[in-house]
Protein backbone atom coordinates (compact mmCIF):
# COMPACT_ATOMS: atom_id res chain seq x y z
CA UNK A 1 0.00 0.00 0.00
CA UNK A 2 1.30 3.44 -0.89
CA UNK A 3 1.17 5.78 2.06
CA UNK A 4 2.07 9.42 2.51
CA UNK A 5 5.10 8.48 4.57
CA UNK A 6 6.27 5.63 2.34
CA UNK A 7 5.64 6.89 -1.19
CA UNK A 8 8.28 4.51 -2.58
CA UNK A 9 7.11 1.45 -0.71
CA UNK A 10 7.47 -1.69 -2.88
CA UNK A 11 10.03 -0.02 -5.16
CA UNK A 12 13.55 -1.35 -5.70
CA UNK A 13 16.25 1.30 -6.13
CA UNK A 14 19.81 0.78 -7.34
CA UNK A 15 22.19 3.61 -6.42
CA UNK A 16 25.78 3.33 -7.69
CA UNK A 17 28.77 4.60 -5.71
CA UNK A 18 26.51 4.66 -2.68
CA UNK A 19 28.81 3.88 0.25
CA UNK A 20 29.70 7.52 0.93
CA UNK A 21 28.75 11.11 0.12
CA UNK A 22 25.92 11.91 -2.27
CA UNK A 23 25.24 8.27 -3.24
CA UNK A 24 24.85 7.18 0.37
CA UNK A 25 22.59 10.17 1.06
CA UNK A 26 20.48 9.29 -1.99
CA UNK A 27 20.19 5.67 -0.80
CA UNK A 28 19.12 6.89 2.62
CA UNK A 29 16.55 9.32 1.20
CA UNK A 30 15.05 6.62 -1.06
CA UNK A 31 15.08 4.10 1.80
CA UNK A 32 13.39 6.51 4.20
CA UNK A 33 10.58 6.84 1.66
CA UNK A 34 10.08 3.07 1.69
CA UNK A 35 12.22 1.80 -1.20
CA UNK A 36 14.39 -1.29 -0.89
CA UNK A 37 17.83 0.12 -1.77
CA UNK A 38 20.75 -1.70 -3.35
CA UNK A 39 24.03 -0.04 -2.40
CA UNK A 40 27.40 -0.66 -4.03
CA UNK A 41 30.91 0.65 -4.56
CA UNK A 42 34.34 -0.78 -5.36
CA UNK A 43 35.34 -1.86 -1.86
CA UNK A 44 33.61 -4.58 0.16
CA UNK A 45 34.52 -2.93 3.49
CA UNK A 46 32.79 0.27 2.37
CA UNK A 47 29.74 -1.73 1.23
CA UNK A 48 29.56 -3.54 4.60
CA UNK A 49 29.74 -0.23 6.51
CA UNK A 50 27.03 1.40 4.39
CA UNK A 51 24.74 -1.63 4.71
CA UNK A 52 24.99 -1.65 8.52
CA UNK A 53 24.54 2.11 8.75
CA UNK A 54 21.36 2.01 6.64
CA UNK A 55 20.06 -1.08 8.51
CA UNK A 56 20.55 0.77 11.79
CA UNK A 57 18.14 3.38 10.37
CA UNK A 58 15.56 0.66 9.57
CA UNK A 59 16.09 0.90 5.84
CA UNK A 60 15.64 -2.24 3.69
CA UNK A 61 19.01 -2.67 2.04
CA UNK A 62 21.12 -5.10 0.02
CA UNK A 63 24.79 -4.50 -0.80
CA UNK A 64 27.38 -5.72 -3.27
CA UNK A 65 30.66 -4.55 -4.78
CA UNK A 66 30.47 -2.91 -8.19
CA UNK A 67 33.07 -0.89 -10.04
CA UNK A 68 30.81 0.72 -12.62
CA UNK A 69 33.65 0.86 -15.14
CA UNK A 70 33.66 -2.94 -15.32
CA UNK A 71 31.07 -4.71 -17.53
CA UNK A 72 30.99 -7.89 -15.41
CA UNK A 73 30.42 -5.86 -12.26
CA UNK A 74 27.56 -3.94 -13.87
CA UNK A 75 25.87 -7.17 -14.91
CA UNK A 76 26.44 -8.72 -11.49
CA UNK A 77 24.81 -5.70 -9.82
CA UNK A 78 21.69 -5.83 -11.98
CA UNK A 79 21.36 -9.65 -11.89
CA UNK A 80 21.79 -9.77 -8.13
CA UNK A 81 19.17 -7.05 -7.69
CA UNK A 82 16.64 -8.86 -9.85
CA UNK A 83 17.31 -12.23 -8.16
CA UNK A 84 17.21 -10.91 -4.60
CA UNK A 85 14.67 -8.08 -4.87
CA UNK A 86 12.43 -9.28 -7.72
CA UNK A 87 13.01 -6.38 -10.14
CA UNK A 88 14.23 -2.80 -10.57
CA UNK A 89 12.21 0.43 -10.50
CA UNK A 90 14.84 3.12 -9.91
CA UNK A 91 18.44 3.61 -11.07
CA UNK A 92 20.55 6.43 -9.66
CA UNK A 93 23.80 6.55 -11.60
CA UNK A 94 26.08 8.48 -9.28
CA UNK A 95 29.61 7.14 -9.77
CA UNK A 96 32.33 9.41 -11.14
CA UNK A 97 36.10 9.58 -11.14
CA UNK A 98 38.54 12.38 -11.69
CA UNK A 99 42.08 11.11 -12.19
CA UNK A 100 43.34 14.39 -13.67
CA UNK A 101 43.93 17.92 -12.43
CA UNK A 102 45.76 20.46 -14.60
CA UNK A 103 45.86 22.17 -17.95
CA UNK A 104 43.42 20.40 -20.29
CA UNK A 105 46.09 20.22 -22.99
CA UNK A 106 48.18 18.01 -20.70
CA UNK A 107 45.40 15.41 -20.40
CA UNK A 108 46.13 12.10 -22.15
CA UNK A 109 44.00 9.61 -24.08
CA UNK A 110 44.07 7.30 -21.03
CA UNK A 111 42.64 10.09 -18.87
CA UNK A 112 39.83 10.71 -21.35
CA UNK A 113 39.08 6.97 -21.70
CA UNK A 114 38.87 6.57 -17.94
CA UNK A 115 36.76 9.69 -17.28
CA UNK A 116 34.33 9.19 -20.15
CA UNK A 117 34.21 5.42 -19.49
CA UNK A 118 33.25 5.67 -15.83
CA UNK A 119 31.33 8.97 -15.76
CA UNK A 120 29.37 8.76 -19.03
CA UNK A 121 29.54 5.40 -20.80
CA UNK A 122 28.81 3.32 -17.70
CA UNK A 123 25.78 5.53 -16.93
CA UNK A 124 24.39 4.71 -20.36
CA UNK A 125 25.28 1.02 -20.21
CA UNK A 126 23.70 0.60 -16.76
CA UNK A 127 20.55 2.29 -18.06
CA UNK A 128 20.50 -0.09 -21.02
CA UNK A 129 20.75 -3.06 -18.64
CA UNK A 130 17.90 -1.93 -16.35
CA UNK A 131 15.41 -0.80 -19.02
CA UNK A 132 14.02 -4.30 -19.80
CA UNK A 133 13.42 -4.91 -16.08
CA UNK A 134 11.75 -1.52 -15.64
CA UNK A 135 9.54 -2.30 -18.63
CA UNK A 136 8.50 -5.54 -16.92
CA UNK A 137 7.33 -3.46 -13.94
CA UNK A 138 5.42 -1.07 -16.21
CA UNK A 139 7.87 1.83 -15.87
CA UNK A 140 10.65 3.34 -13.81
CA UNK A 141 12.98 6.25 -13.12
CA UNK A 142 16.59 6.96 -13.98
CA UNK A 143 18.58 9.79 -12.37
CA UNK A 144 22.10 10.80 -13.42
CA UNK A 145 24.41 12.83 -11.18
CA UNK A 146 26.08 15.62 -13.16
CA UNK A 147 27.68 18.74 -11.65
CA UNK A 148 27.75 22.52 -11.75
CA UNK A 149 31.04 21.89 -13.61
CA UNK A 150 28.92 20.52 -16.48
CA UNK A 151 27.60 24.06 -17.04
CA UNK A 152 30.81 26.01 -16.43
CA UNK A 153 34.01 23.96 -16.71
CA UNK A 154 36.06 24.25 -13.52
CA UNK A 155 39.66 25.33 -13.82
CA UNK A 156 41.99 22.33 -13.79
CA UNK A 157 39.06 19.94 -14.25
CA UNK A 158 38.54 20.16 -18.02
CA UNK A 159 37.92 16.49 -18.93
CA UNK A 160 35.82 15.88 -15.80
CA UNK A 161 33.70 18.96 -16.58
CA UNK A 162 33.15 17.80 -20.17
CA UNK A 163 32.01 14.38 -18.87
CA UNK A 164 29.46 16.14 -16.67
CA UNK A 165 28.17 18.22 -19.63
CA UNK A 166 27.79 14.95 -21.54
CA UNK A 167 25.39 13.67 -18.85
CA UNK A 168 23.07 16.62 -19.53
CA UNK A 169 23.03 15.48 -23.17
CA UNK A 170 22.53 11.84 -22.25
CA UNK A 171 19.52 12.79 -20.10
CA UNK A 172 17.91 14.60 -23.00
CA UNK A 173 18.83 11.95 -25.54
CA UNK A 174 17.28 9.10 -23.53
CA UNK A 175 14.14 10.78 -22.17
CA UNK A 176 11.99 10.85 -25.36
CA UNK A 177 12.69 7.20 -26.24
CA UNK A 178 12.18 5.87 -22.72
CA UNK A 179 8.98 7.89 -22.17
CA UNK A 180 7.31 5.29 -24.42
CA UNK A 181 8.11 2.71 -21.75
CA UNK A 182 6.89 4.97 -18.92
CA UNK A 183 10.48 5.49 -17.77
CA UNK A 184 11.45 9.02 -16.74
CA UNK A 185 15.08 10.14 -17.11
CA UNK A 186 16.35 13.13 -15.15
CA UNK A 187 19.56 14.53 -13.79
CA UNK A 188 20.80 16.52 -10.78
CA UNK A 189 23.71 18.94 -11.01
CA UNK A 190 25.08 19.55 -7.52
CA UNK A 191 27.14 22.61 -6.61
CA UNK A 192 29.94 22.24 -4.06
CA UNK A 193 28.87 19.58 -1.58
CA UNK A 194 31.02 18.73 1.43
CA UNK A 195 32.28 15.19 0.66
CA UNK A 196 35.67 13.50 0.33
CA UNK A 197 35.48 13.91 -3.46
CA UNK A 198 35.40 17.71 -3.21
CA UNK A 199 37.82 18.01 -0.28
CA UNK A 200 40.39 19.94 -2.36
CA UNK A 201 37.77 22.71 -2.60
CA UNK A 202 37.03 23.03 1.13
CA UNK A 203 40.12 21.85 3.04
CA UNK A 204 41.75 25.26 2.85
CA UNK A 205 39.94 28.35 4.11
CA UNK A 206 41.02 30.47 1.15
CA UNK A 207 39.59 27.91 -1.31
CA UNK A 208 36.30 27.77 0.59
CA UNK A 209 36.13 31.57 0.54
CA UNK A 210 36.63 31.58 -3.25
CA UNK A 211 33.87 29.00 -3.70
CA UNK A 212 31.44 30.85 -1.43
CA UNK A 213 31.92 34.11 -3.35
CA UNK A 214 29.93 32.49 -6.14
CA UNK A 215 27.17 30.99 -4.00
CA UNK A 216 24.15 32.96 -2.76
CA UNK A 217 23.66 30.65 0.22
CA UNK A 218 26.94 31.21 2.03
CA UNK A 219 27.82 27.65 2.96
CA UNK A 220 28.71 24.38 1.23
CA UNK A 221 25.95 21.91 0.44
CA UNK A 222 25.30 18.75 2.42
CA UNK A 223 24.94 15.33 0.73
CA UNK A 224 21.37 14.98 2.07
CA UNK A 225 20.43 18.18 0.22
CA UNK A 226 21.13 16.31 -3.02
CA UNK A 227 19.69 12.99 -1.77
CA UNK A 228 16.30 14.62 -1.14
CA UNK A 229 16.13 16.07 -4.66
CA UNK A 230 17.03 12.69 -6.16
CA UNK A 231 14.28 11.02 -4.12
CA UNK A 232 11.82 13.71 -5.27
CA UNK A 233 12.71 13.02 -8.93
CA UNK A 234 12.04 9.30 -8.30
CA UNK A 235 8.66 9.94 -6.66
CA UNK A 236 5.19 10.39 -8.13
CA UNK A 237 5.42 14.09 -7.22
CA UNK A 238 7.74 14.33 -10.24
CA UNK A 239 5.51 12.24 -12.53
CA UNK A 240 5.45 14.94 -15.27
CA UNK A 241 9.21 15.70 -15.19
CA UNK A 242 11.50 14.03 -17.73
CA UNK A 243 14.62 15.01 -19.67
CA UNK A 244 15.34 17.66 -17.01
CA UNK A 245 18.40 18.60 -15.01
CA UNK A 246 17.84 20.22 -11.62
CA UNK A 247 20.74 22.35 -10.39
CA UNK A 248 21.20 22.23 -6.61
CA UNK A 249 23.98 24.71 -6.03
CA UNK A 250 23.03 27.20 -3.33
CA UNK A 251 22.62 29.75 -6.11
CA UNK A 252 25.78 29.33 -8.20
CA UNK A 253 24.91 30.62 -11.64
CA UNK A 254 24.35 27.73 -14.07
CA UNK A 255 23.69 28.09 -17.76
CA UNK A 256 25.04 26.50 -20.89
Ligand X SMILES: NC(=O)c1ccc[n+]([C@@H]2O[C@H](COP(=O)([O-])OP(=O)(O)OC[C@H]3O[C@@H](n4cnc5c(N)ncnc54)[C@H](OP(=O)(O)O)[C@@H]3O)[C@@H](O)[C@H]2O)c1
Site of interaction with ligand X (CB under 6 A): 16-17, 19-23, 41-43, 46, 66-69, 94-97, 118, 145, 147, 190, 192-193, 195-198
Query: Which CB atom, from 67 or from 165, has the smaller least distance to ligand X?
Result: 67
160 assigned to active site: yes
Backbone phi, psi, residue 37, to 5°: -105, 145
Nearest approach in angstroms of CB 204 to ligand X is 15
For residue 188, the tally of other CB atoms under 10 A from its CB is: 26
Q: Whose CB is nearest to ligand X?
A: 21
Nearest approach in angstroms of CB 173 to ligand X is 19
> Within 13 Å, how many C-alpha atoms sit on residue 123's CB side?
29
Nearest approach in angstroms of CB 152 to ligand X is 12
Number of H helices, E strands in the chain: 9, 7
Cβ-proximal residues to 249 (8 Å cutoff; 6+ apart), any chain: 148, 189, 190, 191, 192, 215, 221
Query: Which CB atom, from 46 or from 186, has the smaller least distance to ligand X?
Result: 46
Nearest approach in angstroms of CB 50 to ligand X is 7
Question: What whole-number distance in Å separates Cα of residue 125 and Cα of residue 151?
Answer: 23
Query: Which CB atom, from 4 or from 196, has the smaller least distance to ligand X?
Result: 196
Nearest approach in angstroms of CB 139 to ligand X is 25
CA 234 vs CA 53, 145, 155, 195: distances in Å: 22, 13, 32, 23
Query: Which CB atom, from 179 or from 212, has the smaller least distance to ligand X?
Result: 212
Question: What whole-number distance in Å separates Cα of residue 196 and Cα of residue 77?
Answer: 24
Using DSSP, state whether 91 is helix, strand or coil: strand
CB 25 within 8 A of CB 46: no
Query: Which CB atom, from 169 or from 176, has the smaller least distance to ligand X?
Result: 169
Active site residue ranges: 160
Amino acid sequence: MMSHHSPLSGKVAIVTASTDGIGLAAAEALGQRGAHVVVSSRRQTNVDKAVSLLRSKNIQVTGTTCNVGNAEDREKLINMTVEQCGGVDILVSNAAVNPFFGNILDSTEDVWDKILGVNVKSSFLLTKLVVPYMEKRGGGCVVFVSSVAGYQPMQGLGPYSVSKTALLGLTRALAPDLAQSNIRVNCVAPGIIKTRFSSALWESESMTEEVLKQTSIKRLGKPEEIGGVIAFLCSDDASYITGETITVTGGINCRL
